[in-house]
Amino acid sequence: MIELDNVSKTYGSTRALDSIDLTILPLRTTVLLGPSGCGKSTLIRLIIGLIKPDEGSVYVEGELLTPNNIFALRKRMGYVIQDGALFPHLTARENVSLIAKHIGWNRDRIQNRIVELCGLTKFPVDALNRYPAQISGGQRQRVSLMRALMLDPDILLLDEPLGALDPLIRFELQTDLKEIFKTLGKTVLMVTHDKGEAGFFEDTIVLLRDGCIIQQGTLSDLVKKPADPFVTRFINAQRSPLESIQNKADSKVF
Ligand SMILES: Nc1ncnc2c1ncn2[C@@H]1O[C@H](COP(=O)(O)OP(=O)(O)O)[C@@H](O)[C@H]1O
Ligand SMILES: [Mg+2]
């Protein structure tokens, strides 16, 4: 569905991506995991064609991405980023319908699709006329997701879509997103730096460090068969609440 063939991208002296070979399988959820600065967003931006690789090729549904076909291919990809990137001066409805209007959908078709998407993403229809500042962070991400899904793309690219949300809202949206992915049967590529979130969504996890793929597999593969000591360090670096309580209890004893 998506293929990166020996792709590299350098910014000044930073090798953001270093000779990446990656195949994203159709109709599955692939999670890009790794510490801040390891190249996750760069990889997503290359696929949506916002930046060009210095070396190597990106293929989307078998087609080599070039300046000539990027706009056509982009219609087959929905893109959601951390803060939603909604236009603040447009209502939720206007944000969601912008591209459909631009390509000539009529009012009824747009309205029907929006109502359908409100059901899918659990966004209240009566809040559609509000501006982004008048809805909650979780609702903004639901609007951003509706906008990405409006043209019914085959591929969804999500760059830390839940990163800016508080834990309870994040938990709720994780559950809803997983359900949506299952219902729609899309090819999903999702970025996170949270291994718990990665494990919740994954069909496959791709773990990156310093622009290189360190390991690809399930969370269980990463835990049980780490390809590199970094994998174990990364997996163990995030503290669970239970562990924190245990540590506090231990420190009281001594
Ligand atoms: N436009 C840019 N200009 C300069 N450096 C950049 C740019 N975009 C990304 N980088 C650098 O490339 C590396 C990878 O960045 P990024 O893909 O955003 O990482 P991640 O999303 O994993 O946090 C980082 O070192 C970052 O500072
Ligand atoms: Mg990023």
Residue at 21 is within a domain: yes
pLDDT at residue 199, rounded to an integer: 87
Looking at the fold, whether 160 and 237 belong to one and the same domain comes out as: yes
Rounded to the nearest 10 degrees, the angle between the axes of helix 167-184 and helix 107-121 is 120
Residue at 171 is within a domain: no
Confidence band (pLDDT; 50, 70, 90) for 170? Answer: confident
Residue at 170 is within a domain: no
Q: DSSP string spanning the chain?
A: -EEEEEEEEEETTEEEEEEEEEEEPTTSEEEEE--TTSSHHHHHHHHHTSS--SEEEEEETTEEP-TTTHHHHHTTEEEEETTTT--TTS-HHHHHHHHHHHTT--HHHHHHHHHHHHHHHT--GGGTTS-GGGS-HHHHHHHHHHHHHTT--SEEEEESTTTTS-HHHHHHHHHHHHHHHHHHT-EEEEEES-HHHHHHH-SEEEEEETTEEEEEE-HHHHHHS-SSHHHHHHHHTSPPHHHHHHHHHHHHH-
Residue at 71 is within a domain: yes
| CA nearest ligand 1 atom 7, residue | 11
pLDDT beyond 80 at 63: yes
Around ion ligand 2, residues with a beta carbon closer than 5 Å are 40-41
Residue 1 to residue 25: CA distance in whole angstroms: 6
- Atom number, ligand 1, closest to the C-alpha of residue 38: 22
Looking at the fold, whether 147 and 183 belong to one and the same domain comes out as: no
pLDDT beyond 80 at 244: no
Looking at the fold, whether 160 and 239 belong to one and the same domain comes out as: yes
> What pTM value is reported for the model?
0.90
pLDDT at residue 252, rounded to an integer: 60
Taking every pair of Cα atoms in the chain, the longest distance, rounded to a whole number of angstroms, is 71
CB distance 78 to 143 below 8 Å: no
pLDDT beyond 90 at 123: yes
Q: Is 160 in the pocket of ligand 1 (CB under 6 A)?
A: no
- Among 156-160, 228-232, 240-244, where is mean pLDDT lowest? 240-244
Does residue 39 or residue 71 have the better pLDDT?
A: 39
Closest-lying ligand to the alpha carbon of 36? 1
Residue at 58 is within a domain: yes
Q: Which domain holds residue 142?
A: 85-152
What separation in Å is there between the alpha carbon of 199 and the centre of ligand 2? 18
Residue at 218 is within a domain: yes
- Atom number, ligand 1, closest to the C-alpha of residue 211: 14
Which residue, among 80, 25, 1, 17, has the nearest Cα to 216 in the 3D structure?
25
- Among 25-29, 41-45, 71-75, 244-248, where is mean pLDDT lowest? 244-248
Looking at the fold, whether 212 and 141 belong to one and the same domain comes out as: no
* Total number of domains in the chain: 2
pLDDT at residue 163, rounded to an integer: 82
pLDDT at residue 105, rounded to an integer: 95
Residue at 248 is within a domain: yes
| CA nearest ligand 1 atom 1, residue | 11
Work out the mean pLDDT of the chain and round it to a whole number.
90
Which of 8, 11, 82 maximizes ligand 1 atoms within 8 Å of its Cβ, making it the mutation to test the pocket? 11
Looking at the fold, whether 72 and 103 belong to one and the same domain comes out as: no
pLDDT beyond 70 at 158: yes
Select from 152, 186, 206 the last residue of a domain: 152
pLDDT beyond 80 at 239: no
Looking at the fold, whether 29 and 71 belong to one and the same domain comes out as: yes
Query: Residue 61 belongs to a domain with what CATH number?
Result: 3.40.50.300
pLDDT at residue 253, rounded to an integer: 55
pLDDT beyond 60 at 254: no
- Atom number, ligand 1, closest to the C-alpha of residue 9: 12
Residue at 184 is within a domain: yes
Residue 92 to residue 55: CA distance in whole angstroms: 39
pLDDT beyond 60 at 89: yes
CB distance 8 to 20 below 8 Å: yes
